[in-house]
Amino acid sequence: SDVTFSVRNLWKIFGKNADKVVGTDLEKADSGAIKAQTGATVAVRDVSFDVRPGEIFVVMGLSGSGKSTLIRCLTRLIEPTSGQILLDGEDVEQASEQRLRELRRRKVAMVFQHFGLLPNRRIIDNVAYGLEIRGVPRAERYERAREMIGMVGLSGHENSRPGQLSGGMQQRVGLARALAVDPQVLLFDEPFSALDPLIRRDMQNEVVRLQKELDKTAVFITHDLQEALKLGDRIAIMRDGELVQVGTPEEVVGRPANAYVADFTSDVARTSVLTARWLMREAFPEEDTDGPS
Ligand code: ADP
């Protein structure tokens, strides 16, 4: 199959009237009106997109725009209200519990904002943990864990406890644990937003490096536009549960779909234009690219 995830007309509505809300007339009402009429929260509203193999697909939007809800629906950590999710062409909604567990184990691994490490177990136990619950024999899982710890630059820390490591190092452990199970898709839920800016930049570079090296598909959630532009092969911009644009960084900055995206990206767009002008001046110092001064 040429898509990893295919999401079709996905809705997720929280509240006891959720099932009644997805219908004909409310399709056109805005989320505020639905909330006022029924008390239900429309967290994800009629969202469709495809994630292609090998790409970093970033879901970006302000806090409360529906990003986490969307990513949790992908693995059916929560039930969508309606819509369809295909993982490698297989309908996740139709899968039995057992098949779903198998799909989750074989195909996806998640990296969380607060690392999700077991505090009382060593780094190597934490990295081996996902393999342990998948029934990989002990010797094999520790060998693999050691290899992954090396891959994320933490060799020598195998026997430390999470609390002895900095935030950035702990998130490297989170990354190693996710990579250890060799998933087809990595899901990142704001993994770096608790980190200092410089550490955060290191981790972003690390993700780009590992993703290239290991050829993984990644779905990456962030509220940070700079991070989205840096990491994303394509960016999906969400607003109030809706997907307002899906495109490459160049497209969302250069050809915003509407005023909201334009406003969101205006600082970056301005910086890009200034950089381009500056580069032109450097490259062609004789030509007066700005006209008479
Ligand atoms: P984001 O990840 O972009 O910050 P979320 O997906 O967490 O956004 O939330 C989207 C909307 O859904 C918000 O209005 C939030 O309050 C609401 N929401 C999320 N989870 C629940 C829940 N379990 N119950 C009720 N409302 C929820």
Least confident segment among 97-106, 186-195, 208-217: 97-106
| Measured distance CA(170)–CA(176) in Å, rounded | 10
Where are the strands (E) in 52-192, listed by range? 56-60, 82-87, 90-91, 108-111, 185-189
The SS3 call for residue 237 is strand
Please write the tens of the pLDDT for every residue from 14-47: 987 787 777 767 778 888 888 888 888 999 999 9
- Tell whether ligand 1 has an atom less than 6 A from the beta carbon of residue 72: no
Q: Is residue 212 part of a domain?
A: yes
Q: For ligand 1, atom 10, name the residue with the nearest CA.
A: 66
Q: 5 and 85 in contact (C-beta within 8 Å)?
A: yes
Contacts of 31 (CB under 8 A, 6+ apart): 41, 42, 45, 240, 241
Q: 88 and 107 in contact (C-beta within 8 Å)?
A: yes
Q: Mutual orientation of helices 167-180 and 138-151 as an angle, nearest 10°?
A: 130
* Number of structural domains in the chain: 1
Q: From the alpha carbon of 15, which atom of ligand 1 is closest? A: 25
- Tell whether ligand 1 has an atom less than 6 A from the beta carbon of residue 61: yes
Where are the strands (E) in the chain, listed by range? 5-14, 41-51, 56-60, 82-87, 90-91, 108-111, 185-189, 217-222, 234-239, 242-247
Q: 67: CA distance to ligand 1 center in Å?
A: 8
Q: Is residue 23 part of a domain?
A: no
The ipTM value here is 0.98
Strand partners, 87: 5, 90
Encoded tokens for 213? 């090296």
| Measured distance CA(35)–CA(43) in Å, rounded | 11
- Tell whether ligand 1 has an atom less than 6 A from the beta carbon of residue 41: yes
Question: What is the span of the domain harbouring residue 220?
Answer: 53-283
Q: How is 129-157 classified by DSSP, letter by letter?
A: HHHHTTT--HHHHHHHHHHHHHHTT-TT-
Q: For ligand 1, atom 11, name the residue with the nearest CA.
A: 43
Strand partners, 82: 11
Q: Is residue 86 part of a domain?
A: yes
Q: Is residue 83 part of a domain?
A: yes
Position 1 confidence tier, pLDDT thresholds 50, 70, 90: low
Contacts of 243 (CB under 8 A, 6+ apart): 47, 48, 49, 236, 237
Q: For ligand 1, atom 18, name the residue with the nearest CA.
A: 43
Q: Is residue 92 part of a domain?
A: yes
- Tell whether ligand 1 has an atom less than 6 A from the beta carbon of residue 63: yes
Q: Give first-to-last CA distance, the chain, whole Å.
A: 57
| Measured distance CA(22)–CA(12) in Å, rounded | 9
pTM value? 0.89
| pLDDT value, residue 187 | 93
Q: Is residue 18 part of a domain?
A: no
Please write the tens of the pLDDT for every residue from 242-288: 999 999 999 999 999 999 999 989 988 888 888 888 888 988 887 66
Supply the CATH number for residue 131's domain.
3.40.50.300
DSSP 248: -
- Tell whether ligand 1 has an atom less than 6 A from the beta carbon of residue 67: yes
Q: 63: CA distance to ligand 1 center in Å?
A: 9
Q: Mutual orientation of helices 167-180 and 123-132 as an angle, nearest 10°?
A: 30
Q: Is residue 32 part of a domain?
A: no
Encoded tokens for 237? 């911009």
Q: Is residue 114 part of a domain?
A: yes
Q: From the alpha carbon of 63, which atom of ligand 1 is closest? A: 4
